[in-house]
Structure 1
Amino acid sequence: MAKPKSRYVCQACGSVSSRWQGQCGDCSEWNTLVQEGAAVSSIFAAKHNLQGGGRSIALVGLDSPAALPERLPSGIAEFDRAIGGGIVRGSAMLVGGDPGIGKSTLLLQVGAHLASAGHPVVYVSGEESAEQVRLRAVRLGLGQAPVQLAAATSVRDILTTMGEGEPPALLVIDSIQTMHSDLIEGAPGTVSQVRASAQELVRFAKERGSAVVLVGHVTKDGSIAGPRVLEHMVDTVLSFEGERSHQYRILRAMKNRFGGTDEIGVFAMEGAGLSEVPNPSALFLTQRGEAVSGTAVFPALEGSRPVLVEIQALVVRLASGATPRRAAVGWDAGRLAMVLAVLEARCGLSFATAEVYLNVAGGYRLTDPGADLAVAAALVSALSERPVPGDCVVLGEVALSGEVRPVAHAGLRLKEAAKLGFETAWVPAGVKGVEGIALAEFGNLRRLVEQIMGR
């Protein structure tokens, strides 16, 4: 048998190269190629085909009856909402987030609630000692919860221990980048180690019926570190988001084989850990007192949950010759440039000699194109120093022609606004009204400008 050849694997994207090079040809990252031994030589693979010699597998029809998966309520309603109603036995979840955002705190609270309800829970930390985890539990008021702790990084040792008795209902691995498999050469955290360790842990979850939660580190661009295949191996991918300087945290489902995606759970970081926020709109709206220019309220939609957020704009005129700045926090800077261009080209407003700052209050991040009209309203209000009515919400997508286009689930968004006391909504033409809110329809952006500036 030919001697296995070495290969070079990118630690950022997992692509394989036959020789080392400074920059990865697929993801363009620098100094990420690490040498690894090939598991099977290409000569051996070419001489053997996989037709024959295996065992027959059972095939079932598409019309076969299928039972709903059994779920374990975690005791934290916002966590259950994000994952679709509870933890599924035999499932594998991947939780990613920035360092210090509260991933370990959240999972320790979930494990403590499950253990207190009589379900065996094991928490394995590869980054901290068992004593450090215990001290954190005491600070959170969970010191009496019957959670079993361990500090280990060997996947073989962990699975051997789990196989000695009754498998736990929940196994938390914190984190997958610290795990090490002795079947693969390489240091913990490399692509091959992360892939092999995750594969063994996911197999354990499927065979023994335990729910396995893997904590994953994230890269500087916010994606989960390690091979992309890691997200395909698990059933659910959760992103724990938020700014460390802000109180709120959002648990967002990016992938869920047992429920809907883009559902969110909202938490607030307090001295005793993470507390649930049943009404997120109250968290992202400032006190609605005297009307202030440059603000507009937008009813965002996260999964099936409407969340009202405040968009703030500031326009500062500069002396001639100075280069104006454009800054956006919580919204795409490219989309801000597009809305400004439409306002100039279609509505005759000039922002060429002004600095423009846009902020989504509370550290919230918006990706919904339905916020275009609210952003435009805030910009026009800031430019003219005429406030948008304080009891008004604004929603609609702005086209390059200046047309205001409808958004999805407008009725659900408006019902949430009515529940919070808003009485008026500026919407695209054709939106059906809801009880308690008067609609003002705008077919194009020029009409919005006229409304705010009183023309």
Structure 2
Amino acid sequence: MTQPGKTKTLFRCRQCGFESRKWLGRCPDCGAWDSLVESAATPPAARRHTGAEAQALVNGGGPAPEDSQRLVTGIAELDRVLGGGIVPGSLVLIGGDPGIGKSTLLLQFMTGVAAAYGQVLYVTGEESLSQIRMRAGRLGLAESGIAVSTETCVEAIVELAAKMRPVLLAVDSIQTVSSEEVASTPGSITQVRESAARLLALAKRENIPVFLVGHVTKDGSLAGPRVLEHMVDTVLYFEGDRGQMFRLLRTVKNRFGSTNEIGVFTMREQGLAEVANPSALFLAERPEGAAGSVVLPSMEGTRPIMVEVQALVSRSNGGSGRRTAIGVDAQRLALLTAVLEKKQGINLIDHDIFLNIAGGIRIDEPALDLGVAAALLSSYLERPIDAHTVVCGEIGLAGEVRAVGQMEQRLKEAARLGFTRFLLPVAAWRQVQEQKKRVRGMALVAIANVGELAEALFAAEQYKQIEK
């Protein structure tokens, strides 16, 4: 039994919120090492039950209720990532590195929502009211009509929102909010979980969409217990280097839309500006006549984006070479390097290999394989690839080139940007021919295996031009 006057303590995991009566070196729930920290055990807050109610669903053929219609933010890139707009009653978590533009994005899209639908409430625990006014003035949003509060008590925030009934509520950030009924410091695991639970109940009860800003750890993951990501409806990550002009808003979780969409922004003095044509932006500074560079038509959700794959293959000073990949899975690079050595007959064991996706974007789809192999061959042979050529396809362990999906969208995007030659798998070429989805002015080059890649890339007089 706990002695009178002695506070009972528990050990909680910083990653997932697992609780234990004794310290453990490794969390048995999520497997994280040295993640259990000691904290005071607090009894659960008393909650009043008002009775449960049930309502019938809308008939399958009937119209959707008006309160389920999405709110358009006025920023097309954000609406795309959210799945078409903000769902009333949803809880959205936005994470990203400090200074990446999370608060700027909040102010900008909240201005559009306020102008179109009514009053919105912005609660900040990290900045004063005068600081918010300075930022709004710099962004040209001084007359936006956003109601701002510097409250950090979650009970007071819930009471204020229930009284004001705003169209949208934003809390910046969830780590600064705390509950008076929990005896721990703001930002602790217990406080973050309890505060998020209160705001979640508010969103569902009052049908108010709530946006939470979350800090990230050194490894780029959201700080706080992992259960926070399970509680919310949507998780968005703001990616990009503060030294670069690009900002990528990526969906990690979305109960109301696709998780493959991305929004592309550029940071300017007046705030974040959306990029309507990211393909042209990513290829704007592509070098001409440089070996190791090739263009790949990638798919991010329903949007085709042309990206530049860069490779540098140089002889190592001694021993086995290094393998460094930025924007690409390092294990995938090692696999493709082994396939080229086995099927193409080139020796890369004593060469350093550096691979990069220009623009700071990350590509995870299998269609990247053929682009990586082409860039590696180009750099190894010191022969540049024709500037009007794009490649796309998956490579298997046997060296075969496999088809990938959404080839029609990739072809149209390549033709729109002026590319005239497209290297694609044989199966995809046959499908294009059967469906008669050929694009005028685009020469399709069918590739069956990696052994045919070098010939198709560099022997111009032997191109298998299927259509001129």
* TM-score normalised according to structure 1 size: 0.91
The equivalent residue for 2:54 is 58
**What amino acid is aligned across from residue 379 of structure 2 in structure 1?**
A
2:354 counterpart (352, 357, 378): 357
* In 2: Cα distance, 1:318 partner to 1:234 partner: 48
The alpha-carbon distance between structure 1 residues 289 and 176, as it changes in their structure 2 partners (threshold 3 A), is closer
The equivalent residue for 1:447 is 452
Name stretches of at least 5 consecutive residues in structure 2 with no aligned partner: 463-468
Give a deviation string over 1:397-430, Cα, whole Å, max 9, x none: 1111111111111111111111111111101112
Q: RMSD of the TM alignment (CA)? A: 2.3
The equivalent residue for 2:210 is 212
* In 2: Cα distance, 1:341 partner to 1:381 partner: 16
* In 2: Cα distance, 1:83 partner to 1:58 partner: 28
* In 1: Cα distance, 2:311 partner to 2:98 partner: 30
Q: CA deviation at 1:245?
A: 1.5
The alpha-carbon distance between structure 1 residues 183 and 101, as it changes in their structure 2 partners (threshold 3 A), is same
The equivalent residue for 2:465 is none
The equivalent residue for 1:120 is 119
Contact kept in structure 2, 1:286 and 1:310, CA below 8 Å:
no
Contact kept in structure 2, 1:386 and 1:452, CA below 8 Å:
no
Q: CA deviation at 1:222?
A: 2.0
Q: CA deviation at 1:164?
A: 2.7
1:325 aligns with 2:322: yes
The equivalent residue for 2:439 is 435
Contact kept in structure 1, 2:393 and 2:424, CA below 8 Å:
yes
2:23 counterpart (20, 39, 50): 20
**What amino acid is aligned across from residue 243 of structure 2 in structure 1?**
S
The alpha-carbon distance between structure 1 residues 181 and 289, as it changes in their structure 2 partners (threshold 3 A), is closer
SS of the aligned residue for 1:159 comes to helix
The alpha-carbon distance between structure 1 residues 80 and 385, as it changes in their structure 2 partners (threshold 3 A), is same
Contact kept in structure 2, 1:11 and 1:34, CA below 8 Å:
no
1:34 aligns with 2:31: no
Name stretches of at least 5 consecutive residues in structure 1 with no aligned partner: 41-52
* In 1: Cα distance, 2:50 partner to 2:198 partner: 21
The alpha-carbon distance between structure 1 residues 249 and 289, as it changes in their structure 2 partners (threshold 3 A), is closer
1:420 counterpart (412, 417, 433): 417
The alpha-carbon distance between structure 1 residues 171 and 423, as it changes in their structure 2 partners (threshold 3 A), is same
The equivalent residue for 2:466 is none
The equivalent residue for 1:243 is 241
The equivalent residue for 2:297 is 299
The alpha-carbon distance between structure 1 residues 290 and 23, as it changes in their structure 2 partners (threshold 3 A), is closer
For residues 36-435 of structure 1, the aligned pairs below 5 Å read 36-37=40-41, 39=43, 57-58=53-54, 60=56, 65=62, 67=64, 69-117=68-116, 119-165=118-164, 167-287=165-285, 290-319=288-317, 321-431=318-428, 432=432, 433-435=437-439
Give a deviation string over 1:78-136, Cα, whole Å, max 9, x none: 11111122222222111111111100000111112222335101111111111111111
The equivalent residue for 2:14 is 11
Q: CA deviation at 1:29?
A: 3.0
The alpha-carbon distance between structure 1 residues 289 and 12, as it changes in their structure 2 partners (threshold 3 A), is closer
* In 2: Cα distance, 1:59 partner to 1:273 partner: 44
Q: CA deviation at 1:308?
A: 0.3
SS of the aligned residue for 1:447 comes to helix
Contact kept in structure 2, 1:12 and 1:27, CA below 8 Å:
no
Give a deviation string over 1:226-280, Cα, whole Å, max 9, x none: 2222222222211111111110111122222222222111110011100010001
SS of the aligned residue for 1:369 comes to coil
* In 2: Cα distance, 1:375 partner to 1:322 partner: 24
Contact kept in structure 2, 1:75 and 1:110, CA below 8 Å:
yes
* In 2: Cα distance, 1:351 partner to 1:181 partner: 58
Q: CA deviation at 1:198?
A: 0.7
Contact kept in structure 1, 2:89 and 2:209, CA below 8 Å:
yes
* In 2: Cα distance, 1:359 partner to 1:228 partner: 30
SS of the aligned residue for 1:85 comes to coil
* In 1: Cα distance, 2:312 partner to 2:52 partner: 67
Contact kept in structure 2, 1:22 and 1:33, CA below 8 Å:
no
* In 2: Cα distance, 1:429 partner to 1:134 partner: 59
Q: Percent identity?
A: 47
